[in-house]
Amino acid sequence: DVKVTQSSRYLVKRTGEKVFLECVQDMDHENMFWYRQDPGLGLRLIYFSYDVKMKEKGDIPEGYSVSREKKERFSLILESASTNQTSMYLCASSPVAGGLAREQFFGPGTRLTVL
Amino acid sequence: DAKTTQPPSMDCAEGRAANLPCNHSTISGNEYVYWYRQIHSQGPQYIIHGLKNNETNEMASLIITEDRKSSTLILPHATLRDTAVYYCIVRVAPNFGNEKLTFGTGTRLTIIP
């Protein structure tokens, strides 16, 4: 079974802190994604990566950065956390099969609260 | 990607078939219909996808109308563990640089004992 794990289920940080959210997948997937999910807004893509050291901005990259030094690990960084970044953060990965990316596999999510 | 419309909530008796509708009247010829679900406090889970033919897997069946303007996800024998929010997504085949998923608000399905 594909497994996507995230470093924390719940996290509480203070405004201005630097926050690292870690995601690891164990199926050698090429693509990895970071989303945030907020009530009434659905799922929104922050960043994604299709290869080591490669990254692409999603729909809402402002206030975030990412790092992918190894294929299995994709980190989301909040350089200076703000209260409007309080959210559920979801990591996902997907393989590229036959030249087409297939379904995405999600981690359990990290519920981040910024005070 | 085409916009989808789903009812906000539905109930279904345990053991019965759950039929979840989705309207996507502006779907293009190269767009697929995907279904995901999200059980409370978990990440979303892929269920099934299709282009124009009906599809079935171990989790569900997907029925797409001939004009492709709507579809129905069928859970044949719903259990309490099927209680979740179900998302219908219409998108082009994911390929390099275009893999993102966009979820709307979905249908909250409650299975009643």
| Joined tokens for residue B88 | 């219908």
pLDDT interval class at B75 (50, 70, 90): very high
What pLDDT is stored for residue A63 in this prediction? 96
Q: What is the pLDDT of residues A24-81, one digit of tens each?
A: 999 898 889 999 999 888 888 999 998 898 899 998 999 999 999 999 999 999 999 9
Average of per-residue pLDDT values in chain B: 90
Q: What is the mean pLDDT of residues B7-19?
A: 97
Reported residue count of chain B is 113
Gap between the Cα atoms of A86 and A115, Å rounded: 8
pLDDT interval class at B93 (50, 70, 90): low
Residue A17 pLDDT > 70: yes
Among candidates A94, A85, A88, which has minimal Cα distance to A108?
A: A88
| Joined tokens for residue A59 | 């729909």
**Mutation choice for A interface testing from B40, B47, B100, B107 by most A CBs within 10 A:** B100
CB contact under 8 A, A43 and B42: no
**Could you tell me the strand order of the sheet in which B70-75 lies?**
B18-23, B70-75, B61-64, B55-56
CB contact under 8 A, A50 and B96: yes
What pLDDT is stored for residue A1 in this prediction? 65
Q: What is the mean pLDDT of residues B27-46?
A: 90
Gap between the Cα atoms of B66 and B1, Å rounded: 20
Phi-psi domain of A63 (left: phi exceeds 0; alpha: psi -120 through 50; beta: other) = left
Q: Which chain A residues have any C-beta within 8 angstroms of a chain B C-beta? A: 4, 31, 33, 35, 37, 40, 42-45, 48, 50, 56, 58-59, 90-92, 94, 96, 99-109
Q: What is the pLDDT of residues A95-106, one digit of tens each?
A: 876 555 578 899
pLDDT interval class at B91 (50, 70, 90): confident
